[in-house]
């Protein structure tokens, strides 16, 4: 079965079931199925053929889900883009993706005006909600297009830094998602009456896989919360009778710290599970979350390239770990030999849901997939019971508690363009509650003056907001190793001031 067939099966079995809820809006499985068929047929009429790439730059709305499935049903590949990206970040991603059509919103027109002239392969931009878009989709057939989609056909291209710290497209097939859903969903005991609240953008694998695909797999309801706030979450859980949270540790840490009187003022009795991923969670805060909300906290360890490595299932989990292996897993030392149980080593795994490749980058792909095994670059430990504890990245990539990777070199390149900056190093300074705090250590040029606010404003002009350093520390010099390299490990141990 492929993703197209998965949606069509559920829509035929339970057409009136709510697939998507956003505020007072409800989208049934029939509407999701038929409207995505209209989008697919409209794309085909515009010349999209099986295997073509169609980019999506849209807010987290029902239209995102509808248009993504429209792309998939046309036999095309959906290229998912981050709405927080600035023009200098978006342009190379869009150009290198070979997308022929971009589906977006009117609000991105100013951003795209400087980008589109440099994307020669992109033939058309479709803006949802506009008269041309509505007319085109409204006049298209609601019947499923007759496109022969194979399980191994490419489905989605995600953009992340990847294990190697290089921004690349990560290609997954229909089979990638179907195989992992069949293994994961039963372990989370998801059923048709479940209501899943997601706190993660859909262009990330966790958002797409857990918030979009997982409910559809069982005919459950996905609830979209456009903006995270504690009040919004509590009100939504009460109103929609949410049964499952999906989020990153930062969100759950904040929820765990809500005072009990506030929690008791809402009816949260429907909640049964919180699923955390994207960064290492805190056993302390997850236990607080369980006690305050009366739910079961589960954790996934995975990567965009290898969707799930381990899973803490409903009846098989241990707080402080990310569960047991769902993929085949080896923990290797620097010489490629398996370490003894309880020792730290690199996680090396393989599974049917491993990525197909880094798009158009066979050299980079071969660096991480060796003899069929994916080398994660992550240090982990398997305890005596076989549960995995995530330790840290072997690279310098910053992974804040929100789970979105930040490449220090990207931030440093911008900082060094500031006229007052002589040297800089960006690291993740560890905080017990906030996780890794993106921190820039800056050496100013002799005679120059700058403030932290000035530096942040400069960064915001060229970087997505989440990449802007949360802390700016002005120092007289940067520590270096014996070989002359910046000692990032020493910097990362400097606590928040």
d(CA 175, CA 414): 39
Q: Do the beta carbons of residue 32 and residue 19 sit within 8 Å? A: yes
18-22: average pLDDT: 98
Q: Do the beta carbons of residue 279 and residue 428 sit within 8 Å? A: no
pLDDT at 250 over 90: no
Query: Which DSSP string do the residues of 215-227 spell out, in sequence order?
Result: HHHHT-EEEE-SS
Question: Could you read off the pLDDT of 201-224 as tens digits, one per residue?
Answer: 999 999 999 999 999 999 999 999
Torsions phi, psi of 355, nearest 5?
-55, 155
Per-residue confidence (pLDDT) for residue 401, from 0 to 100: 75
> Reduced to 3 states, what is the DSSP secondary structure of residue 384?
coil
> Reduced to 3 states, what is the DSSP secondary structure of residue 40?
helix
pLDDT at 65 over 70: yes
In this prediction, what percent of the chain has a pLDDT beyond 70?
Answer: 98
The CATH architecture annotation of domain 195-393 reads 3-Layer(aba) Sandwich (3.40)
In this prediction, what percent of the chain has a pLDDT beyond 90?
Answer: 81
Per CATH, 3-149 and 195-393 having the same topology is answered yes
Per-residue confidence (pLDDT) for residue 497, from 0 to 100: 47
pLDDT at 496 over 60: no
Per-residue confidence (pLDDT) for residue 483, from 0 to 100: 47
The CATH architecture annotation of domain 3-149 reads 3-Layer(aba) Sandwich (3.40)
Q: Phi/psi zone of residue 484: left (φ > 0), alpha (ψ -120 to 50 degrees), beta? A: left
CATH number for the segment(s) 408-492 = 3.30.300.30
Per-residue confidence (pLDDT) for residue 481, from 0 to 100: 62
CA atoms 144, 147, 148, 152: torsion sign: negative
482 confidence band (pLDDT: 50, 70, 90): low
344-362: average pLDDT: 96
Closest CA to 353 of 148, 92, 152, 74: 152
Alpha-helix runs per DSSP H in 381-469: 408-415, 452-460
pTM of the model: 0.85
Per-residue confidence (pLDDT) for residue 395, from 0 to 100: 67
d(CA 472, CA 415): 11
403-407: average pLDDT: 81
Stretch (H or E) spanning 345: strand 344-350
Q: In what order do the strands lie in the sheet with 471-474?
A: 421-431, 435-444, 471-474
pLDDT at 27 over 80: yes
Alpha-helix runs per DSSP H in 360-468: 362-368, 408-415, 452-460
Domain boundaries, the chain: 3-149, 195-393, 408-492
280 confidence band (pLDDT: 50, 70, 90): confident
pLDDT at 132 over 70: yes
Q: State the average pLDDT for the chain.
A: 93
> Reduced to 3 states, what is the DSSP secondary structure of residue 481?
coil
All residues at 6 or more sequence positions from 74 whose CB lies less than 8 Å from its CB, including other chains? 39, 40, 41, 43, 44, 48, 50, 54, 145, 147
């Amino acid at each position: 079965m492929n993703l197209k067939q998965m949606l069509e099966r559920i829509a035929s079995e339970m057409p009136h079931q709510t697939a998507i809820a956003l505020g007072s809006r409800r989208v049934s499985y029939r509407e999701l199925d038929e409207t995505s068929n209209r989008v697919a047929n409209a794309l085909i009429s515009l010349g999209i053929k099986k295997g073509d790439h169609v980019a999506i730059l849209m807010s987290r709305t029902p239209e995102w889900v509808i248009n993504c499935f429209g792309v998939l049903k046309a036999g095309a590949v959906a290229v998912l883009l981050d709405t927080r990206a600035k023009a200098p970040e978006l342009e190379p991603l869009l150009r290198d993706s070979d997308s022929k059509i971009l589906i977006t919103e009117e609000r991105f027109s100013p951003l795209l005006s400087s980008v589109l002239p440099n994307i020669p392969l992109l033939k058309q931009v479709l803006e949802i909600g506009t008269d041309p878009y509505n007319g085109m989709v409204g006049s298209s057939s609601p019947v499923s297009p007759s496109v022969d989609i194979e399980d191994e056909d490419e489905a989605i291209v995600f953009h992340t830094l990847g294990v190697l710290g290089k921004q690349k497209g990560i290609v997954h097939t229909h089979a990638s998602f179907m195989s992992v859903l069949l293994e994961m969903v039963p372990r989370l005991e998801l059923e048709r009456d479940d209501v899943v609240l997601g706190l993660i953008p859909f262009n990330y694998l966790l958002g797409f896989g857990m918030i979009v695909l997982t409910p559809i797999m069982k005919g459950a309801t996905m609830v979209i919360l456009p903006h995270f706030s504690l009040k919004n979450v509590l009100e939504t859980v009460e109103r929609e009778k949410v049964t499952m949270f999906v989020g990153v540790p930062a969100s759950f840490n904040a929820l765990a710290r809500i005072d009990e009187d506030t929690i008791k003022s809402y009816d949260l009795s429907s909640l049964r599970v919180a699923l955390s991923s994207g960064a290492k969670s805190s056993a302390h805060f997850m236990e607080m979350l369980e006690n305050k909300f009366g739910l079961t906290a589960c954790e996934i360890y995975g990567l965009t390239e290898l969707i799930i490595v381990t899973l803490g299932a409903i009846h098989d989990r241990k707080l402080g770990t990310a569960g047991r292996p769902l993929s085949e897993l080896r923990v290797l030392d620097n010489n490629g030999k398996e370490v003894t149980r309880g020792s730290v080593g690199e996680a090396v795994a393989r599974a049917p849901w491993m990525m197909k490749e880094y798009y158009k980058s066979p050299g980079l792909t071969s660096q991480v997939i060796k003899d069929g095994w994916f080398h994660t670059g992550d240090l982990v430990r398997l305890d005596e019971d076989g549960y995995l504890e995530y330790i840290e990245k072997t690279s310098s990539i910053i992974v804040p508690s929100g789970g979105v990777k930040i490449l220090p070199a990207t931030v440093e390149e911008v900082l060094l363009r500031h006229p007052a900056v002589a040297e800089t190093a960006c690291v993740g300074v560890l905080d017990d509650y906030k996780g890794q705090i993106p921190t820039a250590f800056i050496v100013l040029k002799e005679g120059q003056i700058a403030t932290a606010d000035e530096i942040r404003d400069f960064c915001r002009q060229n970087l997505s907001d989440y990449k802007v350093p949360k802390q700016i520390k002005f120092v007289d010099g940067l520590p270096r190793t014996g070989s002359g390299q910046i000692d990032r490990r020493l910097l990362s141990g400097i606590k928040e001031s």
